[in-house]
Amino acid sequence: MNKTVLITGATSGIGLGCAHKFAANGDRLILTGRNVMKLEAIRKDLEAKGTEVLIFAFDIRDREAARKAIERLPEEWQQIDVLVNNAGLALGLEPEYQGNLDDWEIMIDTNIKGLLTMTRLIVPGMIARNSGHIINIGSVAGDAAYAGGNVYCATKAAVKALSDGLRIDVADTAVRVTNLKPGLVETNFSNIRFHGDTARAAKLYQGIKPLTGDDIADVAVYAANAPEHVQIAEVLILATHQASGSVIVRK
């Protein structure tokens, strides 16, 4: 049975990969992001391939905008089967004692509070229907801190704890919770982290074949389509020559 899938941060990287992979699976999509032009382009592309798509442009940090978007869903779209909490980012690699307070606030508001907002808006409906799946995009960075990662690592550790806590909260229902933990993925993630310094971002991927957004999306689709009695609770996904968040062998 085809599902209704809501993906946050759907305009690039893992979110965009998820949009294409769930579309290829025959699902219909609700896509959110900050850039309305990118959302429109993705919608047109996917609709041309036969996928039903709704788009909502808002910043995941804006709780009221998120609430209004969900309230505007047509009745036939209100039963969301899969929520992919993907929107997130890293900013800076400075030591914690030299970090930028504004960068910290953006990461915390996006990676933690934004995820909580969407969870609070969508999951009650899943509980009422006794059906649904939340897929949170965490990170290997949530397992152990690495140099310069400090606050970003803390936000992804929070995603793990929130995923585990939600899984406990819904254990008496048929709702499932998955935490996907990617390692090195080549997206615009590093370009954003370095505030548009493309050359610096490119160095992170030299000497190793990193993961792609599609690689992570493949795992998300697999988890969402596992048999009803199977809950893929957590998956760590690394490039072949990456052993942990801080151990990467470049050749």
| Distance of alpha carbon 219 from alpha carbon 158, whole angstroms | 21
CB atoms within 10 A of CB 231: 17
Q: Are 149 and 93 in contact (CB under 8 A)?
A: yes
Q: Residue 35: CB partners within 8 Å, gap ≥ 6?
A: 11, 57
User: Which position among 97, 146, 152, 222 bears the catalytic label?
Assistant: 152
- Is residue 152 flagged as an active site residue? yes
| Distance of alpha carbon 80 from alpha carbon 21, whole angstroms | 17
| Distance of alpha carbon 219 from alpha carbon 18, whole angstroms | 9
Q: What is the DSSP letter of 97?
A: G
- Catalytic residues, by residue number, are 152
